[in-house]
């Protein structure tokens, strides 16, 4: 039997981390992935809005601690549930040891290419210091789902009613495999 605390109105917050082969771990701030339907993310927002700085700091530190605890090396995402009915209790969900679909919103606010850093870490390079990773601006990612409204919005392949193939140019013709 597994018992879990029921959270009435939680927020799903993720912390992006990078960890190198020299034991250095940094966070790249947080993303809010709370807007979901059937446990599928619809909107990802970075940084998460309406969080106190104290809650943000705890999330970043927990993300770093999780990566260090398993001696992780590469880009990863540490996921948490934030209890909004309390003073901000945070619960660990999981660590994804890969980049996630929503990683571009983190790249946009930190001006950091996460795929490039995965390769640099694999090549043995050291990470920049935490102070060198800044957060500027705000980014959103929205996913489009094919669903059937008349069938409780269950996933569906749908029907393509119109498709217009773009004109071929010299550049696209040269790039097209033969």
Contact indicator for 43, 31 with CB cutoff of 8 Å:
no
Q: Which of 37, 38, 98, 143 is catalytic?
A: 98
Unique residue bearing structure tokens 């795929």:
115
Task: Return d(Cα 7, Cα 92) in angstroms, integer.
Answer: 13
Q: Would you give the end-to-end CA distance of the chain in angstroms? A: 58
Secondary structure (H, E, C), 24-35 = CEEEEEEEEEEE
Unique residue bearing structure tokens 């770093």:
64
Unique residue bearing structure tokens 């917050």:
13
3-state secondary structure of 63: helix
Mutual angle of helices 103-110 and 114-122, in 10-degree steps:
90
- Identify whether 58 is a catalytic site residue: no
CA distances from 98 to 28, 78, 163 (A): 14, 10, 34
Which two structure tokens, joined as six digits, stand for 119?
């390769």
> Which residues belong to the active site?
98
């Amino acid at each position: 039997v597994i018992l879990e605390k029921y959270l009435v109105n939680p927020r799903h917050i993720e912390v992006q981390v990078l960890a190198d082969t020299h034991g250095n771990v940094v966070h790249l701030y947080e993303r809010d992935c709370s807007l979901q339907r059937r446990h599928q993310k619809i909107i990802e927002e970075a940084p998460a809005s309406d969080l106190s700085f104290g809650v943000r700091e705890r999330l970043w530190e927990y993300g770093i601690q999780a990566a260090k605890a398993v001696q992780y090396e590469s880009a990863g995402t540490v996921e948490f549930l934030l209890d909004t009915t309390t003073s901000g209790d945070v619960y660990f969900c999981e660590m994804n040891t890969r980049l996630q679909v929503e990683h571009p919103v983190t790249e946009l606010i930190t001006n950091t290419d996460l795929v490039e850093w995965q390769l640099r870490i694999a090549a043995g390079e050291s990470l920049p210091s935490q102070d060198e990773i800044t957060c500027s601006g705000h980014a959103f990612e929205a996913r489009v789902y094919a669903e059937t409204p008349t069938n409780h919005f269950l996933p569906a392949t749908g029907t393509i009613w119109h498709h217009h193939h773009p004109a071929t140019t010299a550049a696209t013709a040269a790039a097209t495999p033969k």
